[in-house]
Amino acid sequence: MSETKKYLKQVSEMRKRMMNRPKEFVYSGAEEFVLKEGRPFKADLKKLNRFGTGQMKQCYKNAFDLTMENSDLIYVEGFATTVIPVMHAWVVDQDGVIADPTWKVEERLKDYEPSGYYGVMFSHQQCIDIMFKSGQYGMLDAWTAGWPLFQKKFKSEVKLCPGKTRARAKG
């Protein structure tokens, strides 16, 4: 089990024991949501920066903008690890190969290798809907919109299509 998945499990369990989640919430927080609705993604360090990198600390914007420029890419948000697991956003291609448009691999490798990517894939429309409601980039911490992802059972709208050129909507 990856360090990231262990972290998600530990925080989810802690929240369940220590907090009363609002009655209208299905998930206790980002960690439980990602653990239940997400999946691990394997990082190929040689391919992580193949689309370049944007501004540091702007991962949600960098990943979203990249998917808007290239409709063959899928926006993913979840947790990734360098020193410790942190909320992060990246993209994947149709084969599930990660591109991280924020973390510069050569700089990270000096201290800690990027690893433990565990996240949820979102369609362009899901991103636009939540980001418009919240007025900010990012899906998991959309507190200004009342954390809409946590209020009902999540329905994925995308799946990987290895060997294809586009993500297909489920249905």
Residue 164 falls inside a structural domain: no
The string of pLDDT tens digits covering residues 83-122 is 899 999 999 999 999 999 999 988 887 777 888 899 999 9
Residue 168 falls inside a structural domain: no
CA 151/CA 148 separation, integer angstroms:
5
Is residue 116 helix, strand or coil? strand
Number of structural domains found in the chain: 1
Q: What is the pTM of this model?
A: 0.91
Q: Which pLDDT score is estimated for 165?
A: 53
The dihedrals phi and psi of 115, each to the nearest 5 degrees, come to: -160, 180
CA 86/CA 21 separation, integer angstroms:
22
Domain that holds residue 23: 3-154
Residue 165 falls inside a structural domain: no
